[in-house]
Amino acid sequence: MIVILLIHVLLLGGSLSSASSSVEETILKKTDLRFKQISTSIGWKRFVQNKKKFFVEPNPNSPIQVSVEKEELETFDETFTLGWGYQQIYIKAPLSKVKKLLQSPLAYQALYNLDGEVNTNTSFTPKNFTARIFKKVPLLPNQDYTLKYTSKLDQNTWFQRAKQIDDKENFAIRDNLKALIPLSDSETLYREVSMVYVLKWYVRAMGPQMRQVMANELKKTAKAFKCIAEGRKDNDPNLYKSCWKN
């Protein structure tokens, strides 16, 4: 979810008209297949191997890695630019603690410094739930969308997928996959890949300064997440505030 909020800056270029429903369906089919292919332990290992420049060997002295790239998707005689974001965090905390954070949507507002309440579905379970995300981002319209979260364990890798099911602003198409791998009983490797296709043409034309602004926001979010995950107390409002201030 962290990258989904912030990676819109990549999406410069491509068609300057909003995508038609047929184009949206094509993008969703292609990206859905890709996410399904990498949502297994074997598929994920192959994916990481192919993305070595983004997913480096974990290093406690350089715990946060954030990278972005563009992909040109040609369809219907037009080229559409997809934004892909890659994030890696070395976390000095057991996998069970990090997983608990990601499966606690009622804590998302404080965890991700959101600007609105996170409304979950009434049939909530930790492995299957929806959450509304509302975030004010510099130079962009307010982000107000709903994601469906599903999770599973495959061998030693825990996956959580967050796929968009609604966008009240009709701003973008979003999809996201997180993978947690235990490095030891007290260390976790957090990796995340996200896709965003922005539907608003004017955002794609806002220029390079947007890229730097959003990259900075993304790194700040990753730093806060690591700080909270490594905190001594769970669900501590003071810890959340402190991690976002530092």
Q: Judge residue 156's burial from the number of C-beta atoms within 10 Å of its C-beta, 0-12 exposed, 13-18 middle, 19 or more buried.
A: exposed
> Residue 208: what pLDDT?
57
Write down the pLDDT at residue 211: 58
- Helix axis angle for 95-102 and 208-229, nearest 10°, is 120
Could you tell me if 161 and 62 are in contact, meaning their C-beta atoms sit under 8 angstroms apart?
no
pLDDT score recorded for residue 214: 61
- If we measure between CA atoms, which residue out of 142, 69, 147, 154 comes closest to residue 102? 147
* Residue ranges of domains in the chain, CATH in brackets: 2-245 (3.30.530.20)
What is the number of alpha carbons within 13 Å of residue 117 lying toward its C-beta? 3
Which of 188, 177, 191 has its CA nearest to residue 56?
A: 191
DSSP per-residue letters across 217-236: HHHHHHHHHHHHHT-SSTT-
Q: What is the pLDDT of residue 114?
A: 94
**Residue among 5, 135, 165, 23 nearest 81 (CA):** 23
Nearest to 139 by CA among 215, 195, 245, 214: 214
Residuewise pLDDT in 10s, the chain (246 residues): 544 544 443 444 444 344 457 778 888 888 999 999 999 999 999 999 999 999 999 999 999 999 888 888 877 677 778 888 899 999 999 999 999 999 999 889 999 999 998 988 878 899 999 999 999 877 778 899 999 999 999 999 999 999 999 999 988 899 999 999 999 999 999 999 989 888 887 776 764 555 565 667 778 889 999 999 999 887 788 999 999 987
The predicted model scores a pTM of 0.88
Among 170, 195, 205, 183, CA closest to 86: 195
Task: Specify the 3-state DSSP secondary structure of 202.
Answer: helix
**pLDDT confidence of residue 106:** 87
